């Protein structure tokens, strides 16, 4: 109920397209801290997901399952229908995303080969359910440095040291914005490229980034390195 109210408020304030991203989560210690059983997460997730979707669609919802509600409604509500993306990496979870959501969000740690394989799983599942995916997306983590050399050195060292458990093969080095543009595929659907390309500011500062056909530019006038995350469609 709280999530539905928060999303409804944010979407009403933001107006326009609103994407709700979610997933099962992981880590038994985190579930125990919340008094939840990690073994029940698939059923709990689907039950909560269905309730949230119905509430944000404007329905009056009653439920006597794991989450007990009686004639519940949320206000304000989104001005436009919310788009739902589910993050998943296991095949059964990717199948769930195809079955109950609008789009699939891949793990940022995927190598190109794994990304292609999982995208195929998702598209196959969508076909099985007679659905057209709204998005096949992969999120990449970005390090923005003062120069290509600095970004390359820092980014490589961080990944090599075990950054978030990422496979070093999922990252690549810095290159200029111009070369990134010229080598990018004309259609993201043809090859979901994991170019760790760079993009430069007006002063030609460049940044190493882990991206799928991603263009990233630091805000004009900013001199501070930063780390950011972006989601990119790879239809």
Burial group, residue 83, by CB count within 10 angstroms (0-12, 13-18, 19+): middle
- 148 and 85 inside one domain: no
pLDDT, mean over the chain: 75
- pTM here? 0.70
pLDDT at position 200, please?
32
Point out the domain boundary residue: 71, 106, 137: 137
| CATH number assigned to the domain comprising residue 30 | 3.20.20.30
- 128 and 145 inside one domain: no
Distance of CA 171 to the CA centre of its chain: 17
- 123 and 208 inside one domain: no
- 126 and 184 inside one domain: no
Q: Which residue has the higher pLDDT, 195 or 173?
A: 173
Give me the DSSP letters along the chain.
Answer: -HHHHHHHHHHHHH-S--EEEEE----HHHHHHTT--GGGHHHHHHHHHHHHHHHHTT--EEEESSSEEEEE--SS--SSPPEEEEE--SHHHHHHHHHH-SEEEE-TT--HHHHHHHHHHHHHHHHHTT---SEEEEEEEEEE-SSHHHHHHHHHHHHHTTGGG--GGG------HHHHHHHS-S-TTT---EE------TT-----B-EES----PPTT----EEEEEEEE--
Q: Sort strands 135-144 and 226-233 into parallel, antiparallel or unpaired.
A: antiparallel
Q: Taking residues 193-199, report their average pLDDT.
A: 32
Question: Which range of residues forms the domain containing residue 172?
Answer: 140-233
Residue pLDDT, tens place only, 33-63: 888 888 889 999 999 999 999 999 999 999 9
Point out the domain boundary residue: 113, 137, 161: 137
- 116 and 183 inside one domain: no
- 176 and 222 inside one domain: yes
Beta carbons of 83 and 22 less than 8 angstroms apart: no
Entry field: residues in the chain: 235
Q: Taking residues 121-149, report their average pLDDT.
A: 88
- 131 and 153 inside one domain: no
Burial group, residue 31, by CB count within 10 angstroms (0-12, 13-18, 19+): middle
pLDDT at position 59, please?
94
- 204 and 124 inside one domain: no
- 128 and 22 inside one domain: yes
Scored b (16 or more CB within 10 A) or e, 128-147 reads eeeeebbbbbbbbbbbbbeb
Point out the domain boundary residue: 137, 171, 197: 137
- 197 and 112 inside one domain: no
- 60 and 172 inside one domain: no
Q: Sort strands 19-23 and 83-87 into parallel, antiparallel or unpaired.
A: parallel
Domain count across the chain: 2
- Unique residue bearing structure tokens 């994991």: 194
Per-residue pLDDT at 120 exceeds 70: yes
- 98 and 214 inside one domain: no
């Amino acid at each position: 109920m709280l999530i539905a109210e928060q999303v409804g408020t944010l979407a009403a304030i933001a107006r326009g397209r609103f994407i709700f991203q979610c997933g099962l989560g992981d880590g038994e210690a985190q579930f125990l801290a919340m008094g939840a059983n990690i073994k029940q997460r698939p059923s709990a997730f689907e039950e909560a997901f269905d309730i949230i979707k119905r509430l944000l669609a404007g329905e009056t919802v009653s439920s006597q399952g794991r989450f007990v509600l009686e004639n519940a409604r949320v206000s304000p509500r989104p001005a436009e229908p919310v788009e739902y993306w589910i993050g998943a990496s296991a095949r059964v979870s990717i199948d769930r995303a195809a079955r109950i959501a609008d789009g699939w969000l891949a793990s940022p740690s995927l190598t190109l080969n794994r990304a292609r394989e999982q995208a195929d799983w998702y598209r196959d599942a969508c076909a099985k359910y007679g659905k057209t995916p709204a998005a096949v997306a992969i999120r990449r983590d970005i390090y923005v440095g003062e120069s290509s050399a600095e970004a390359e050195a820092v980014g490589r060292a961080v990944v090599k040291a075990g950054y978030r458990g990422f496979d070093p093969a999922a990252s690549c080095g810095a290159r200029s914005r111009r070369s990134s543009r010229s080598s990018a595929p004309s259609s993201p659907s043809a090859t979901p490229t994991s170019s760790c390309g760079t993009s430069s500011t007006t002063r030609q500062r460049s940044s190493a980034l882990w991206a799928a056909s991603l263009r990233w530019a630091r805000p004009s006038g900013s001199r501070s390195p930063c780390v950011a995350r972006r989601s990119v469609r790879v239809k």
